A and B are shown apart, each in its own frame.
Chain A
Amino acid sequence: MDRDIADFALQYAVSRKVDYAEVRAHRENRESLIMKNGILDAYVSAVDSGFCVRVLADGGIGFASTNKWTKEEAKAIVEIAYKSAKMAKRKDKIVFAEEKSVKADWKVDEKKRIENVSAGTRIETLMEIDKALTAQRINVPARMFTFGTNLTEKYFVNSEGSVISSYVPKMGAYIFITVVENGKPEQAYKQFGYAGGWEAIDEWKITEEMINQAKVLQRVIKEGKAVKLEKMDLICGPEVTGIAAHESCGHPMEADRILGREMSQAGRSFIYQGGPFWLGTKIGSPVVTIVDDPTVKNSYGYYEYDDEGIKARPRFLYKKGVISEFLHNRETAAKLNTRSNGASRAINYDRESIVRMANTFVQPGDMGEEEIFEDVKQGVYMRSFTEWNIDDKRFNQRYVGREAYWIEKGELKHPLARPVIETTTLTFWSAVDAVSKKVKYDSATCGKGDPMQGVPVYTGGPMIRLRGVYVK
């Protein structure tokens, strides 16, 4: 990464008399492995480095990027961005919400430096997981592991005087398995993510997790029973709570969707000006508070400043069951007459930063996990999910249980075969009457943007209890 060229690009952009300009440079050192059925398919090691220029001129935005580090190329992409911004000829001019300039240098520490971990150790780590998984008395004929580390340096400068440098090491893994029992297959996947060093391997406990997943699938095939459609109580484990928080709270609270900027891709939101839901409207029960917080230490979605140079902070999206605060970047904040809350993220130098979640989770309540089960006469405990989806206004959603059990008189009984809750955002969050004390997180890659930008996030929450919802 050549910071002089980034600075040069900014100066050149400013000389074009734009309303605003920024340059964001990235250097990503990536090492990744892919292993299929116990065989290492490939080890990939690459360094990607480039920079982008974003300008605001005549109320239009132009963006251009390159991975060629020369002053001539910098000039060329500034010219493209400038010309593109002028081409927009918007009736209502885009402005950015005001912000103070920032000078900062931040990084995430590694207890065990990723760069010091040899390729051999990385390979052996994956091999050991596969060996342990296949040593169980469970038939796991198909296994796909991907594993990677990404050391990201960023350098951000803008025409308002901000200069921000950062270094974030991240680790991620994705495991997909198929268990076959009596000729019947069941499948599970699990994603792991961490901002920090190689210590993630100890924290993830992948081997135990995947052995447990395999055992769960085997038991579901052998003992799982169907659920008859009826109204009942539903207890969601943290994984299910987390995906619901992400899909039916985080996404609809993204201000760019609310304003229509994602209308033809990820969609709009059930929340819109003049509609039945807006800031201050009830969306859930008073025990439901959902936060998006980039500052959770070592989280997969961790950052201290967003990609527009705004200081990160927790955002209370649904607060005590009420729509409370949208996720903003500077463009959406200006449109809704507020300030950015630091939710602008880009996956690399060649993508514009847009409104994104970081770590979205339900805040803990005051109940013990045993208490939550105690007065459930009959119902379902959905500990984890398999298929899920939601409509593009983020209201009509469905979660299918992967590990789930029948509850009778407060006690767990037999496993269930893929129980389904198909419901609305309002019904789901309004039915919650109890929230446990302990929050757990899961790692995920959130997809949004065109071209697609998969950003690392945490989903999570405590155990929650829903009263009287349809499960089938």
Chain B
Amino acid sequence: MNETHAKTEEIVKRCKALGADEVIAQTTFGSYRQTRFSNNQIDISVAWNNYVTDVALAWKNRIVATQIINFQNVDERIRRLFEIVKVSKENPMFGGFAKGRFPYQKSKADRSVVNIENPAEYVFEAIEAARKEAGPETNAGGILFTKLEDVYLVSSEGPNGEDCRSAIELSIRAFSQKETSGHGVECSSILKGFDAARAGEKAGEIAKLAKNPKAGVEGRYDIIFDPLFTGSLLSMWGSMTSAFAIMVQMSIFVDKLNQKVASDIVTLRDTPASYSIANRVFDDEGMPTKENVLINKGVLKTYLHNTSTAKIFNTETTGNAGIIMPSPWNVEMDAGGMNRDEMFQEVKRGLYLTNTWYTRFQNYATGDFSTIPRDGMFLIEKGEIKQSWKDIRLSDNALKMLSNVVGISKERQHIYWWGIDGDLPSLSPYILIKDVQITRPK
């Protein structure tokens, strides 16, 4: 056990000695690096070093928590926790923290991600790839981000482990004209195979296609969603499977366990697998993480739980703690049977939307929402892209769209970028959804 792990354990011991019923301490030493660029030049390079221990303590079913920075003022923070917990209120829904000793998978994190000698090379590689596709006048911006976290978790209830989490992400948006653009991302947990140019090429390819857009037309369309757009939809649907979201009705899945909520071809999973930028081997209670099937062939199979929400729902934790809120780590949609080109051939008259942002709900329980497509948006006729569009909005219902998925591609991409509401990474295919409502400003 290294010194950091030992200090983490010491915090748990001290809290127990002072009378805590249950304690979890989780120390994260994180190094984060980001290079931001716009107008084809680097604007700023940013580095954060973060040394923090999150402590959660239960006493007589009352839950309090704190953060200790770099093991400073430990006694003061613990004293404050006990001051608060003595006047706090009982939480009858507290089900305890996860209990038992667990073997954890060995982390496959890549320590080299934060030691990239010259991040600018990746940035310029992506920019050049975009310009090669869309032309020398192309104007690109984005970020290169790397993360390395060493995590040490000790629980009075048994869990005790170490994890290392790594990620590298490149996000690039290329403008071929002042108001026409394409967006590409490249996300991985390891440096090997990371291809910055691939993101640039995708951004450039869409930016080129998107030139000279016409105002879109309101109506209902069959729509092919690019993996980047699908990533936002998976984040939206995935977030709504958290038991916390169910309990506060910020979900379309309330009271729908074991019911049909999607078309037969839809299977959704949550997994912080080693390829994912959300890779982790245990959750915030120290439960080993695992793959959970959220929706199996259209049927909602589980909500995502920590120990407490699992007890409320009379089930087992799914390894998705959050001490307070369980949450998904990385949502996958199972691959379908057609490739991208075959999917286009399915569409007589429809749209191809490549990206979106600003997803907002009128009502989470009913699922009524809208979101604003951005970057390339195209009219498809007889399987071919016929026209570039602009200024449209997708205004529909999250549950209905899930039921109207009629095509899923074989190709999938690991997706994450700044604009994903719900902030979830995903493994996203192209999907075809029928009869989706498009509106526009009048």
Contacts and interface: CB of A to CB of B under 8 A. Distances in A.
B393 to A, nearest CB: 6
Given A45-B66, A46-B66, A141-B249, A64 B370 contact: no
Interface string A182-209: 0001110000000000000000000000
Given A387-B361, A389-B359, A422-B440, A264 B89 contact: no
Contacts of A64: 46-49
Interface string B366-397: 10111110100000000000000001010100
Contacts of A262: 38, 141
Interface stretch (B1-9, B168-176, B399-407): B168-176
Contacts of A463: none
A88 B141 CA distance: 14
Contact of A67 (B39, B45, B70, B244): B70
B269 to A, nearest CB: 26
Contact of B63 (A42, A87, A260): A42
Interface in B108-137: 118-120
Contact of B45 (A37, A84, A176): A84
A83 to B, nearest CB: 8
B372 A389 contact: yes
20 contacts: A36-B247, A40-B63, A46-B65, A48-B67, A66-B48, A66-B49, A66-B51, A68-B70, A76-B49, A89-B120, A94-B43, A119-B88, A123-B88, A143-B248, A260-B39, A263-B39, A265-B419, A386-B361, A392-B358, A393-B179
A186 B363 contact: yes
A400 B362 contact: yes
Contacts of B172: 264
Interface stretch (A55-63, A147-155, A288-296): A55-63
Contacts of B72: 69
Interface string B323-362: 1100000000000000000000000000000000111111
* Chain B facing A: main interface SS: strand
A178 interface: yes
Interface of B: 34-36, 38-39, 41-52, 56, 62-67, 69-70, 72-73, 77, 80-81, 83-85, 87-89, 91-93, 118-120, 139-143, 171-173, 175, 178-179, 181, 183, 244, 247-250, 323-324, 357-366, 368-372, 374, 391, 393, 395, 418-419, 439-442
A264 B142 contact: yes
Given A88-B45, A144-B248, A123 B69 contact: no
Q: Which 10 A-B pairs have the closest CB atoms?
A: A84-B45, A264-B173, A263-B141, A389-B358, A142-B249, A120-B87, A46-B67, A470-B442, A88-B42, A64-B47
B248 A176 contact: yes
B91 A40 contact: yes
A264 B419 CA distance: 9
Contact of B247 (A88, A142, A185, A392): A142
Contact of B248 (A62, A142, A470): A142
A85 B357 CA distance: 31
Given A92-B41, A352-B46, 20 more contacts: A36-B247, A36-B248, A39-B92, A40-B63, A42-B323, A43-B85, A64-B46, A87-B35, A87-B45, A119-B87, A120-B87, A142-B249, A178-B248, A185-B366, A264-B38, A264-B173, A389-B393, A390-B372, A398-B441, A422-B442
A231 B364 CA distance: 29
A392 B357 contact: yes
Contacts of A261: 38-39, 43, 141
B439 A65 contact: no
Nearest to A46: B67
A68 B365 contact: no
A63 B249 contact: no
A391 B391 contact: yes
Contacts of A80: 47
A45 B64 contact: yes
Nearest to B174: A264
Nearest to B45: A84
B440 A396 contact: yes
Given A36-B248, A264-B183, A265-B418, A127 B38 contact: no
Nearest to B171: A264
B360 A387 contact: yes
Nearest to B173: A264
Interface of A: 34, 36-37, 39-50, 60-69, 73, 76-77, 80-81, 84-85, 87-92, 94, 118-120, 123, 127, 141-144, 176, 178, 185-187, 259-265, 267-268, 272, 275, 350, 352, 386-393, 395-398, 400, 418, 422-424, 427, 450-452, 470
Contacts of A36: 244, 247-248
A45 B361 CA distance: 31
B370 to A, nearest CB: 6
A398 B393 contact: yes
A227 to B, nearest CB: 13
Contacts of A34: 324
B356 to A, nearest CB: 10
B325 to A, nearest CB: 8
A48 B364 CA distance: 33
Contacts of A66: 48-51
A434 B307 CA distance: 56
A62 B52 CA distance: 24
Contact of A275 (B43, B178, B364, B369): B178
Contact of A47 (B34, B39, B77, B118): B77
Contact of B370 (A42, A91, A389): A389
A264 B56 CA distance: 37
A389 B395 CA distance: 11
A81 B374 CA distance: 34
A69 B357 CA distance: 39
A99 B269 CA distance: 54
Contacts of A127: 89
B87 A260 contact: no
Contacts of B361: 187, 386-387
Contacts of B175: 263
Nearest to A176: B248
Contact of A396 (B77, B83, B88, B393): B393
**Among the interface residues B183, B361, B418, which one has the most CB atoms of the partner chain A within 10 A?**
B418
Nearest to B89: A40
B212 to A, nearest CB: 16
Max count, chain B CB within 10 A of own CB: residue among A65, A123, A387? A387
A87 B118 contact: yes
Contacts of A470: 442
A6 B216 CA distance: 54
Given A46-B67, A123-B87, A391-B391, A178 B49 contact: no
B43 A91 contact: no
A386 B362 contact: yes
A37 B361 CA distance: 21
Contacts of A144: 248, 250
A55 B440 CA distance: 45
B178 A272 contact: yes
Contacts of A386: 361-363
Given A42-B65, A423-B441, A84 B47 contact: yes
A60 B56 CA distance: 42
Contact of B418 (A39, A76, A450): A450
A464 to B, nearest CB: 18
Contact of B47 (A37, A43, A65): A65
B119 A81 contact: no
Given A73-B49, A187-B363, A263 B139 contact: yes
